[in-house]
Amino acid sequence: MTVIQSLAPDLTSERVRQLFNPTSIVLVGATDKSSWSRAFYSNLVDSKFPGPVQLVNPRGGEVHGQKAYTSVGELPEPADLAIVMVPTGAVLGMMEEIADAGIRSAVILTSGFGEVGEEGAALEEQLRTIAREREITILGPNGNGFVNVAAGIMPYGLPLADEIPSGSIGIVLQSGALASSVLRQSLVRNAGLSVLVSMGNESMLSMTDVMEYLVEDDDTKVILLFIESVRNPAKFREVARRALQAGKPIVALKVGRSEGGAAVAKAHTGSLVGDDGVIDAVFRQTGVIRVDSLEDLMVTGELLSRTGPFRGRRFAFVTPSGGACEVIADRAEDEGIEIPAFSPETELRLREVLPDFANVHNPLDVTGYLLVDNRLLINALGAVEHDPEIDQIVVMTELPADNVNVDRSVHVERLTAQAEFFAGMSKPVIPLATAMIDVTEFGRGLMRDTGFPGAISGIHHGLTALGHAANWSEAYWEAQKPAEVDPADDAAPIELDVRPGEVFGERRSAALLAEHGIPVVPSADVSTADQAVEAAEAVGYPVVVKLGSDEIEHKSDIGGVKLGLKDADAVRAAFEAVVQAGRSAGAADVTALVQPMRPPGTELIVGLVRDPQWGLVLAVGLGGIWVEVLKDSTLHVLPVSRQQVKDGLLSLRAAKIFAGARGTERADLDAIADVVTRVAQLGVRLGDRLESLEINPLSVRGDQVEALDALITWV
């Protein structure tokens, strides 16, 4: 069982809660000369922080218009939270003073620590040691603080907008510079926030610690992440699974795409596994929604904060525009959103409420006659509502940006009628705006006065968000089912006497696989040409002759594999050729393997690779000569369930070959999933010494699944 550890093992959820919910705050290093200090102070005052805000400056006097104390020890009463803005060299001493004063939480703005190199990293380690020994909870250093919108607590080091919408979206950022952009997005999208945290260097409090707090926070329904790196992979996976189980979507923008992870393996599997591919696998397995822009981060979070999990992925779209219907149809196909045909009963109801010239199909264009009959959109929704093939309805409607040429009362009447109708419908209704237009103060005022829920902004980003939400909803409902038991959980570890860096060639790899229930092609290990002929005649022609040395990892690269041998002479010649190829390549232990030649089938590669961050990763893809050409694979971070393996097989671009493409035999997906799952379970049991295990190819002929070659490397 994996032990989950925080960067600070004694950092309890109660300590994190206290950090984000102080009743009194002190600014240490406060000065009128610092824009950071002015921003912290004005944000706290402007947000009407109810507790005392005390100031410390070594010169005393007056700062920001109020008395400043010369030291933390002079404070008339201890604060719950210290905002530390002193020079880098003074931070460690100040932390001791803070602890002596009874302050138990600190936001450290000061930079010059781990982000600047080895000397700064050493200083940060000292900071972490002091914090642990003195039981101080630290956010930072090199961060901007946080904004607890739900509680009205704004200790943040950059100027904030006059109004931050309050809501249920929690945001955790590993980039202080982006926080202002995200806050601006929340305002113009009218996406209400519960908490926003700028992490800084994560010397103590990590991103996953904040995620854990937000999973437990009653004010937060959706968690948005900007991720540069995951410092505690095991805890990240555990917290993400808990969020999924609790119905709190996590939406993540992960930056830094690289192929660094491929270097960890000597086998072909390494070409299929890169850092970014592993992140994709982790997110998919834990239900984390991955987006690739700040806009999609916010729009997807905004959508899910309103809707919760969808009932399914079948949508009706009701619009006033034929062109919009066409764009929606294209984008829906991109995102895997289903647009079923309306039932005959629904079409009949629509014909009763729409003009004669309207087409009653999904997506639905109610036509420009809406300008004549302002209830046309609502009537169409009522006609679509009870269609049994529809899970939820998207209606194209939006807030006005201003009051030009239309009396405000007209907008109020329209939006009030829509809001009341949406609220009374038996199926979820999601308003969608045509384009990404900012919600203005005029629009926010209309929302307050009418109860209109607002519209997801723009067809492109809106359909992206709908697709993400539909995928997450399926993962959520699946997570509510009893977990599939992995037999490897109760299986004893397998202890082997291996040397660091040792390689098991096909002989030993195949024997290990067969010993643990994985079907392997029969093989005879021979050391002479006569023995090779004898073995060939025993299994029956045609046969395969391969180099048997553990010293050569990829036999085919040096001519060490001979296929389709039909008689004794061919076998003798093949034996001599593969043995000579091995000797020419520098191998000392040279034998040959004789195996029956299997008929053509589907060839897969099944590999395990140890990722330095996430542990063993399972890769399954098209094998043989195509593995590095097509790189069509599905990845899973272990442990993995049999159903996840099967779903992964179906996600391959080449999945159609399993159905028997071009007259080939149909592959038994259940049989493949059984064998692949056994390989994954074996990898778990082999423990941390396993670096990589590869079967290439895994031959599939109907329900016959068999490893034809294998290679194992050890750490």
What pLDDT, in 10s, does the model give residues 138-180? Answer: 999 999 999 999 999 999 999 997 789 999 999 999 988 888 8
Q: Are residues 586 and 628 in the same domain?
A: no
List, for residues 366-415, the tens digit of each pLDDT value. 998 888 888 899 999 999 999 999 999 999 999 998 887 789 999 999 99
Q: Give the pLDDT confidence score for residue 267 in this predicted structure.
A: 46
pLDDT per position as a tens digit, 640-651: 999 999 999 999
Does residue 316 share a domain with residue 437? yes
Q: What is the mean pLDDT of the chain?
A: 92
Tokens found for residue 486: 């992995």
Is 108 in the same domain as 30? yes
Query: Residues 220-274: pLDDT tens digits?
Result: 999 999 999 999 999 999 999 999 999 999 999 998 875 544 344 344 555 566 5
CATH number at residue 335: 3.40.50.261
Q: Are 552 and 446 part of one and the same domain?
A: no
Residue 513 included in any domain: no
Q: Is residue 534 domain-shared with residue 462, that is, in the same domain?
A: no
Does residue 487 register a pLDDT over 80?
Answer: no
Residue 384 counted as domain residue: yes
Residue 2 confidence (pLDDT): 35
Higher pLDDT, 235 or 665: 235
- 578 and 607 housed in the same domain: no
Domain boundary among 596, 618, 636: 596
CATH number at residue 661: 3.30.470.20
Model confidence band, residue 40 (pLDDT cutoffs 50, 70, 90): very high
Same domain? For 25 and 62 the reply is yes
Q: Which residues pair with residue 198 across a beta bridge?
A: 145, 173
* Residue 525, strand partner residues: 593
Amino acid making up residue 238: E
At 676 the pLDDT is 98
**pTM higher than 0.75, yes or no?**
yes
Q: Count CB atoms within 10 A of the CB of residue 125.
A: 13
The 10 Å Cβ neighbour count of residue 537 is 14
| Burial class, 715, CB count within 10 angstroms (exposed 0-12 / middle 13-18 / buried 19+) | middle
Same domain, 85 and 187: yes
pLDDT of residue 261: 41
- For residue 547, the domain's CATH number is 3.30.1490.20
Judged by average pLDDT, the poorest of 322-326, 420-424, 542-546, 663-667 is 663-667
Q: In what order do the strands lie in the sheet with 315-319?
A: 364-365, 315-319, 392-396, 429-432
How many domains are there within the chain?
4
- Which of 184, 190, 194, 168 shows the shortest CA–CA distance to 444? 190
Domain range enclosing 645 = 602-714
Report the C-alpha gap between 468 and 337 in whole angstroms.
Answer: 10
Provide the percentage of residues in the chain whose pLDDT is more than 90.
Answer: 82
For residue 598, count other CB atoms closer than 10 A to its CB. Answer: 17
Share of the chain above pLDDT 70, in %: 94
pLDDT of residue 486: 66
Task: Give the end of a domain, one of 220, 239, 269.
Answer: 220
Same domain, yes or no: 552 and 612: no
pLDDT of residue 265: 39
Residue 490: its pLDDT value, please?
A: 66
Q: What is the mean pLDDT of residues 196-210?
A: 96
* Strand, coil or helix: 84: strand
Looking at 192, 220, 248, which one is the last position of a domain?
220
- Tell me what pLDDT residue 12 has: 87
- Is 269 inside any structural domain? no
CB neighbour class for 404 (10 Å; exposed up to 12, middle 13-18, buried from 19): exposed
* 608 and 569 fall within a common domain: no
CATH number of 60's domain = 3.40.50.720
pLDDT, position 626: 59
Question: What does the pLDDT average to over 455-482?
Answer: 96
Residue 628: per-residue pLDDT: 62
124 contacts 113 by C-beta, under 8 angstroms = yes
Q: Where are the alpha helices (DSSP H) in 171-293?
A: 179-189, 207-216, 233-246, 275-286
Residue 655 — φ and ψ, nearest 5°?
-60, -25
Q: Detail the DSSP E strand segments found in 597-707.
A: 602-611, 615-622, 633-637, 690-701, 704-707
Let me know whether 90 and 127 are in one domain: yes
* pLDDT value at 131 more than 90: yes
| 563 and 609 together in one domain | no
Confidence class of residue 653 from pLDDT cuts 50, 70 and 90?
Answer: confident
Angstrom distances, CA of residue 401 to CA of 396, 433, 435, 443, 455: 16, 12, 12, 6, 12
